[in-house]
Amino acid sequence: MAGYVVNIEARSLENEYFREVLFTGPHNQLVVMSLKPGEDIGLETHADIDQFIRVEAGKGRSILNGEEHDLADGSAVVVPAGTQHNIVNVSQTQPLKLYTIYSPPEHPDGTIHKTKADALADEGDRVH
């Protein structure tokens, strides 16, 4: 199939995994994520990857080079390469549902991490 078509809102909302790669192209990658209450992605910096994040449900906080912003359904975050960042689910009861686009791809095509622990244990997870 050329390209990829999905109802990204529905796919993001139904996702129960910490991370699932839906599509990988030569220059970008589409990933859905679900952060459990109180969970975060983890502080990270991508030296040569730009990232776009959109929240579909829940309440969260983005931290970009130490600057914090509240997030809710409809929030978008653009993370330029070289920016230290984290996304935190600030709810103690509801998951934070989001999707992200990496440019270029960050994870091997088809990657599924059911939990954050799975992601942390997968040291070979990065392609770029």
Q: Where are the domains of the chain?
A: 9-125
Task: Among 4-13, 86-95, 97-106, 114-123, name the one with the lowest average pLDDT.
Answer: 114-123
What pLDDT is attached to residue 2?
82
What pLDDT is attached to residue 127?
60
The mean pLDDT value of the chain amounts to 95
What pLDDT is attached to residue 128?
55
The CATH classification number of 9-125 equals: 2.60.120.10
This prediction's pTM: 0.94
What pLDDT is attached to residue 50?
98
Phi and psi torsions of 93, nearest 5°: -130, -25
Q: What DSSP assignment string belongs to 26-62?
A: SS-EEEEEEEPTT-B---EE-TT-EEEEEEEES-EEE
User: What kind and span of H or E run contains 105?
Assistant: none
User: What's the average model confidence in pLDDT over 33-61?
Assistant: 97
